[in-house]
Structure 1
Amino acid sequence: MAEEASLEVAMTLIMYGGEAKSCALEAISAAKKQDFKQAKEKLAQAQEALLSAHHAQMEMLSKEARGEKTDYSLFMVHGQDHLMTSIAFLDLAKEIVELYQKIDK
């Protein structure tokens, strides 16, 4: 059962991390076209996806802090990697959108 729960968390991290990265890419694309309203909406959607992933991650960390064993797998490593790169990607996307806004002025 613990293995199934770990797999579910890993898949949640992969899914929401991927969604966040996709939304961040769409934000950059919108900003490139000077559609800053759309860019901001996509950045907000990316942030929401990361928040969902963060909740799943915190649930897993809380269980481990209580002494409950967590099964580690390549899926979990991939999920954590996906989440962390998506966070970094969103941070860069915010900066790129801001730069496009400055260029547009």
Structure 2
Amino acid sequence: MAVEAIQKVTQVEAEADRRKEEAMAESKQKLLVAQRAAQRLLADSRTEAENEARQMLVQTEEEAAKATQKVLEQAKLDCEQWKRTARTRLDQAARTIVEKVVNR
């Protein structure tokens, strides 16, 4: 019976070692799968962030172009107004110059 008990203990120990090795192999496999998933997630996140940054840049450039166009349009209107004002004063300026030249 002692031999049977020793054999039984040896079998149980061998089975425990086998299960331990299986558990370690399974853990390594799960870790590898998790690492690969994390790398894919990181790559996807980077790609998504780059796409969002590109979209934000395009949107910002469009907004800047619109703002620039508004400023240019306003400057053009202001310039036209100054030209109209100058034209109305042109006759008076010419008369004043003629008076000063003639009265010398």
- TM category (shorter chain) comes to 0.3 to 0.5
Greater RCO structure (CA 8 Å; 6+ sep) = 1
**Normalized per residue, which structure has more helix?**
2
Relative to the length of structure 1, the TM-score reads 0.33
